[in-house]
Amino acid sequence: MVTELKQEETLKDIWEPKILAFLCNWCSYAGADLAGVSRIQYPPTIRVVRVPCSGRVSPYFIIKGLLDGWDGIIVSGCHPGDCHYLTGNLVARRRFAILKELLEFFGIEPGRVNFMWASAAEGERFANLIKKATEIVKKLGPNKKFESKW
Amino acid sequence: MVISVSIESENRDIENSMKETARALLKEKKVDVIIGYSKGTVPLSSAPILIRNVDEVERLVWNNLCYINLAKYLVPRIPQLIDPEKGDLNVGIITKGCVGRALIHLRTENQINLENVIMIGIPCNGIINRKKIEKEIGENEILELFTSGNEIIVKGKDFEKKFSFEDYVNELCKVCKIKAPPKIKELQGSYVGECQEVSSIDDNFEDLTEFESKPTVEKWNYIKDTLQTCTRCYACREACPMCYCKLCFVDQNKPIWFQKTTEISDIISFHLVRAMHLAGRCVACGACSSVCPVGIDLNLINRKLEKIVKERFDFTSGIDASKMPPMMEYSMDDAEEFMLEED
């Protein structure tokens, strides 16, 4: 009995969230690259999907990601005003604002979906934000809301 | 709120003036056809009807069960409203507040040409929440429903029940501030009947505070329990005047974004995306909830959408034709308090 409990505890301790990260090609992807070449350490929790622009990220991607069991979703793009396509991230920002409020209203922890800006020169900021997002998702625990019966 | 005249007499006044206007329009040949409401074939319902000549006007009806949003029949135009030789017919449409809002919003989205549409404005006095009444009655069969004074009377084979109108009106109608179609200056010529000037509406969304203050778990449980019965028949989509996509995301099969089962995860995803698509577009007509065969109340979600859009972008759909809908626009100065920032 005692050993069993211990085992459970350790399992919980070593659980690391899996986070799906949509990074825009022009800023955040390069930012992640910079974090890498600068050897800045950050948690190995994210799996990167490179998208042309944060404006490319449809709410479908995010909802589908949660449905497929990702513990967290990150969308990162250029700072407002710096978008390679001029206004892509501004369009995306409106979408995210509504999606985030809606998720909260539906009772899905809003912390699972995080949006951030990171430019190509901000390797350290990128690493810090990933650390922060990982902590938030870790606190929420595994995403089990959408587990299917099948 | 003190109601000076009873709902029953209000209905009668609305119906009479509506019929008069319809007759005049048809006589003067200003319109070829009028879309309106008629008595439904089953109790607790109403049916849309096309009126082509003066004798038929008698069949028009106004009661508190006219839940259909008639704007749906103009976007896209149903074939009955198009003449093979003349092209688009001149259409008169019985317009309550939310139908007017839908038409104006669809015009903003370039989906409709309102030049050959005449809106016959009526001051709507609220739609009965028929699902709530059905629930109260239970297994018994309802044969008739009518209003008498300020009460709703439901008759069956061997029962008769009275409900107070104020308690059994739709939640959306309780907080509705646009009863008659809003006037916009671009379309001065297309209004007849009762219309109202609306510049902006004040709404404090008090009806949402209770739900919003609940903890996340309770919210999830409530949403899950409410939506669990959804059979994904898409009646809500079919009734919605804003759902005019030629291929809906749920019917798309390349790629299949969301599975088609009635698993809770698929249901939630459908309703989430449906809500996303209606952000800043929903005109709060409540047609989706009224047509739901299992009685899911989508009004709560629709109200929330209205709130988000009003608070963030100061936009109310369908009252101002000069303003672009928020999801079709962008701005450098939007609030971004939800973005992740370094400590």
For the full predicted model, state whether its pTM sits above 0.95: no
Tokens of B23: 């007759």
Measured CA to CA, the distance from residue A125 to residue B127 in angstroms comes to 54
Measured CA to CA, the distance from residue B58 to residue B261 in angstroms comes to 45
pLDDT higher than 50, residue B314: yes
Rounded mean pLDDT, B213-235? 93
Does residue A147 belong to any structural domain of this protein? no
Does residue A78 belong to any structural domain of this protein? yes
Selecting from B220, B308, B313 the residue whose C-beta is nearest the C-beta of A107 gives B220
* Beta bridge partners of residue B224, listed in sequence order: none
Rounded to 5 degrees, φ, ψ at A72 are -155, 160
- Is residue A25 less than 8 Å (CB to CB) from chain B? no
Question: Pick the residue with more confidence: B202 or B68?
Answer: B68
Closest CA to A121 of A25, A28, A55: A28
Residue A7 — pLDDT band, cuts 50, 70, 90?
A: low
Host domain of residue B317 = 206-328
Rounded mean pLDDT, B91-102? 93
Rounded mean pLDDT, B148-167? 88
Tokens of A89: 């991230």
Measured CA to CA, the distance from residue A18 to residue A62 in angstroms comes to 14
Residue B8 — pLDDT band, cuts 50, 70, 90?
A: confident
Is the CB of B221 less than 8 angstroms away from the CB of A109? Answer: no
Residue A129 — pLDDT band, cuts 50, 70, 90?
A: very high
Q: What is the pLDDT of residue B204?
A: 85
Contact B280, B305 (CB under 8 A): yes
**Burial zone of B281 (CB within 10 Å; 0-12 exposed, 13-18 middle, 19+ buried):** buried
Rounded to 5 degrees, φ, ψ at B342 are -70, 150
Residue B1 — pLDDT band, cuts 50, 70, 90?
A: very low
Contact A59, A75 (CB under 8 A): no
For residue B311, give the chain A residue with the closest CA. A98
For residue A136, give the chain B residue with the closest CA. B340
Element housing B12 (H / E)? helix B7-27
Does residue A135 belong to any structural domain of this protein? yes
Measured CA to CA, the distance from residue B343 to residue B331 in angstroms comes to 26
pLDDT higher than 60, residue A1: no
Rounded mean pLDDT, A8-14? 69
pLDDT higher than 80, residue A121: yes
pLDDT tens digits, B105-146:
999 999 998 888 999 999 998 999 988 888 888 888 888 888
Q: What is the pLDDT of residue A150?
A: 59
- How many structural domains comprise chain A? 1
- Is residue B334 less than 8 Å (CB to CB) from chain A? yes
Is the CB of A107 less than 8 angstroms away from the CB of B257? Answer: no
Distances (CA, A) of A18 to A46, A68, A99, B156: 6, 11, 21, 58
Element housing B216 (H / E)? helix B216-227
Which B positions 219-248 lie with beta carbon below 8 A of chain A? Answer: 219-224
How many residues belong to chain A? 150
Closest CA to B48 of B33, B30, B58, B60: B60
- How many structural domains comprise chain B? 1
Does residue A44 belong to any structural domain of this protein? no
Is the CB of A64 less than 8 angstroms away from the CB of B257? Answer: yes
**Burial zone of B110 (CB within 10 Å; 0-12 exposed, 13-18 middle, 19+ buried):** exposed
Write B323-331 long-range contacts (CB < 8 A, 24+). B323/B108, B324/B108, B325/B105, B325/B108, B325/B109, B325/B280, B325/B281, B326/A94, B326/B279, B326/B280, B327/A94, B327/A95, B327/A98, B327/B279, B327/B280, B327/B281, B328/B109, B329/A94, B330/A87, B330/A90, B330/A91, B330/A93, B330/A94, B331/A90
Does residue B291 belong to any structural domain of this protein? yes
Q: What is the pLDDT of residue A13?
A: 72
Does residue A45 belong to any structural domain of this protein? no
Host domain of residue A64 = 17-35+52-139
pLDDT higher than 60, residue B2: no
Does residue B116 belong to any structural domain of this protein? no
- Chain A residues within 8 A of B334 when measuring between CB atoms: 90, 93-94, 97
Measured CA to CA, the distance from residue B180 to residue A37 in angstroms comes to 64
* CB hemisphere CA count around B234 (13 angstroms): 12
- Chain A residues within 8 A of B331 when measuring between CB atoms: 90
Rounded to 5 degrees, φ, ψ at B96 are -90, 175
* Beta bridge partners of residue A77, listed in sequence order: A117
Q: Which residues lie closer than 8 Å to B110 by C-beta, 6 or more apart? A: none
Rounded mean pLDDT, A72-89? 94
Measured CA to CA, the distance from residue B235 to residue B196 in angstroms comes to 31
For residue A133, give the chain B residue with the closest CA. B340
* Beta bridge partners of residue A142, listed in sequence order: none
Mean pLDDT for all residues in chain B:
90
